[in-house]
Copies of this chain bind each other. A is one copy, B any other.
Amino acid sequence: MNKQIEKLLEVHQQSFVQHLCQLVNYESTYQNEWQAQQYINMLLTELEMDIDWFEPDVNELMKHEAFVSTRDQFERSPNVIGVWKGEGGGRSLLLNSHIDVVPGGDLRQWKTAPFQAYFDGERVFGRGTTDMKGGTISLLLALKVIKELNVRLKGNLIFQSVVDEECGGAGTLAATLKGYQADAALIPEPTKLKIFPLQQGSLWFRIKVTGRAAHGGTRYDGVSAIDKAYVVIEQLKMLEKRRNEQIHHPLYEHIPIPIPINIGKISGGDWPSMVPDHVIIEGRYGVFFEETIEEAKEVFEQILHPSMFLDPWFIEHPLAVEWFGAQWMPGSINMDHPFLHVIKDTVMKVSGQKAKVEAAPWATDAGVLYQVGHIPTVVYGPGTTELAHYPNESIEVKAMVEAAKVFVHLILRWCEFETDS
């Protein structure tokens, strides 16, 4: 059967590169997912899956504490789910991919057009190739191969193409709340073919720092909010240091900062000749997989409490801390879970090398599967994070095919199968 799998991968590789290119050409940014999802729908139909095409119901979602999104409706932003019902007796598997991509960004930095896929013989270039249409196509290639092997899976196989991952996971939340369950789940986000059995969560924060305005020529009459913002940043660095010193986990042994606090944006002041009386800092706060979002928020807010500063300015002018925008839940699969063993073993057999297992430095929809669906989930896929969200995003076809091969073997082993003969 191994030879047959190799052959089928070889045979279909070309056409699935074409599918990837087609999928990249559909500019499936936030609220524009319709066409790309229709294409996925077509592929799932060809695979003879049972299709569930539905727009998330925002009124239902809003009742759930895990709902975070910048959207208030999902019209024309459907999830599409394909199911192969198993023969019974095996373990079920959920495959989860997101169809949404981030915008193209600064076009001048692109060598090609972000939404006009370009294949140079080795790599496909375009927005979403690595994050994560490449992984999605690897999955679909694997399903195509399994279909042509003429096997019947024992466990259920569910393939989810969801919206809104980049904005906080409302698509996966909607699918999970609709009742999709499985014994294990796999998300082929770009891990460079490493296995990520746990992930940090993250929160976005906004801090408003107050100063006192004055003319720049007598700046000593004012208090610079830029100077005060720096005190706040130092405080956050201390918090980051303290939180990370407490982490002793084998998967974080070689990670310089397991749960970073990133200051991503700063802006303040209105006029070069004025002492700035306001600065806004925005950033991302990493949440450890063993802590809750609420616990993480609490220590953050504590360290920015006026009493925590030596500088009395902050007592008279307390910082305003706001949690805004997206939020991603942390979580992990149990390190002894059989699914983790099976995927490690499969990767080793396919690649001929010991599987690399690391902690995910970012969050995925696995957070929703862990915390809301309580589904043991592993993230493993082709592509590299470093290219995600950047100009000239690309993916290596060789890695996509290797991932597809892992997926074929993984699905057959996990779900088990019967043959016709």
Q: A217-B361, A265-B268 in contact; A284/B279 too (CB < 8 A)?
A: no
The segment from A91-99, A179-187, A256-264 found at the interface with B is: A256-264
Q: How far is the CA of A386 from the CA of B229 in the complex (A)?
A: 24
Partner of A262, one of B262, B264, B275: B275
Whether B218 lies near A361 (C-beta < 8 A) is yes
Residues in B with CB closer than 8 Å to A257 are 219-220
Closest chain-B Cβ to A416's Cβ sits at a distance in Å of 36
Q: Which of B202, B226, B269, B325 contacts A217 (CB 8 A)?
A: B202
Chain B residue at smallest Cβ distance from A262: B216
Q: A226-B233, A273-B284, A361-B218 are in contact. Are A266 and B264 (CB under 8 A)?
A: no
Is A282 an interface position by the 8 A CB rule?
A: yes
- Residue A35 at the B interface, CB < 8 A? no
What are the residues of chain B within 8 A of A135 when measuring CB–CB?
none
Report the minimum CB–CB distance from A262 to chain B (whole Å).
3
Choose among A257, A270, A284 the residue with the greatest number of B CB atoms under 10 Å from its CB. A284
The winner among A216, A218, A270 for most chain B CB atoms within 10 A is: A216
Across the interface, name the chain B residue whose C-beta is closest to A269.
B265
Residues of chain A in range 377-415 having any CB-CB distance to chain B below 8 Å = 385-386, 388-390
Contact in complex: B273, A204 (CB < 8 Å): yes
The total of chain A residues at the interface (CB under 8 A) is: 51
Instruction: Name the residue of chain B whose CB is nearest to the CB of A102.
Output: B271
Q: Identify A264's interface contact among B221, B260, B272, CB under 8 A.
A: B272
**Which one of B233, B260, B265, B274 contacts A218 once the chains associate, using CB atoms below 8 Å?**
B260
Q: A200-B217, A362-B215 are in contact. Are A276 and B284 (CB under 8 A)?
A: no
Is the CB of A224 closer than 8 A to any CB of chain B?
Answer: yes
Chain B proximity of A379: nearest CB distance (Å): 13
Closest to A218 in B: B361
| Copies of the chain in the assembly | 2
A230 within 8 Å of B (CB atoms): yes
Q: A271 to B260, Cβ gap below 8 A? A: no
Bound form: Cα–Cα A257–B270 in Å = 22
A283 within 8 A of B: yes
Most buried by B among A257, A271, A282: A271
Tell whether, in the assembled complex, residue A273 and residue B202 are in contact, meaning their CB atoms are under 8 Å apart. Answer: yes
Q: How far is the CB of A325 from chain B (nearest CB, A)?
A: 7
Answer whether residue A38 sits at the interface, using C-beta atoms and an 8 A cutoff: no
For residue A82, CB closer than 8 A to chain B, the reply is no
Give bound CA distance, A372 to B361, whole Å. Answer: 61
Which among A215, A264, A385 has the greatest number of chain B C-beta atoms within 10 A? A264
Report the nearest B residue to A256, measured CB to CB.
Answer: B220
The answer to whether B200 touches A260, judged by C-beta atoms less than 8 angstroms apart, is no
User: Chain B nearest CB: distance from A107 CB in Å?
Assistant: 15
Task: Specify the chain B residue showing the minimal Cβ separation from A360.
Answer: B217
Q: State in angstroms the CA–CA spacing of A201 and B266 once bound together.
A: 29
How many angstroms from the CA of A282 to the CA of B266 in the assembled complex? 13
When the two chains form their complex, are residues A325 and B272 in contact, meaning their CB atoms are under 8 A apart? Answer: yes
**Which 6 pairs between the two chains have the least Cβ-Cβ distance?**
A216-B262, A265-B269, A217-B362, A216-B284, A217-B361, A264-B272
Chain A interface (Cβ within 8 Å of chain B)?
A: 200, 202, 204-205, 213-221, 224, 226, 229-230, 233, 256-257, 260, 262-276, 279, 282-284, 286, 325, 360-363, 385-386, 388-390
